[in-house]
Amino acid sequence: MSEVGELYKRILLPLDGSALAERALPHAIAQAKRFEAEIILLKVIESLPRRGGLAYGAFERAEKELKTWAREYLEGVAANLKEQGIPVQVATVIDDPHKAIVWFAESNQVDLIVMCTRGQSGLSRWLIGSVADRVVRGAKIPVLLVRAQKTST
């Protein structure tokens, strides 16, 4: 059996740009510090629907802008991690979120996925599904889910 310190060397933290998703960040940081692991920040950009009326170049430009925004967002989060001495990488993928997260983890030898749930239950969860649920069911590695609910103001 490997040393505990070698259990998790690469931690994947999918973020969607929301404060709710970022609630998983302290948990990923704690695991990274405990195991001296690297954190990979991933932003999945959902494919834009290709419908008539817009030229193909318009879709390419829109996706390029989304990727630029995503990279800037992730680099901002990464700067905070680097200040704490945590090795970090950033990545963006265009695909369905749950598929991209599972694929990315498998393709990049990730040892642990840390992500937030949306706090959905009942009918809304059944109707639209849960990315976290699908990742847990599809991943071949451990997934640490952080239950996050919107705070009332």
Query: Taking the mean position of all CA atoms in its chain, how far away is CA 134?
Result: 13
pLDDT, tens digit, 9 for 90 and up, residues 63-97: 889 999 999 999 999 999 999 999 999 999 999 99
Please give the average per-residue pLDDT across 3-24, as a whole number: 87
Query: Taking the domains of the chain in order of start, what are their residue ranges?
Result: 4-146
Count other C-beta atoms under 10 Å from residue 22's C-beta.
16
Kindly state the average pLDDT of the residues 31-58: 83
Is the distance from CB of 9 to CB of 32 less than 8 angstroms? no
Global pTM value: 0.85
> Rounded distance, CA 106 to CA 68, Å?
25
Residue 115 binned pLDDT confidence (cut-offs 50, 70, 90): very high
Record: fold of 4-146: Rossmann fold (3.40.50)
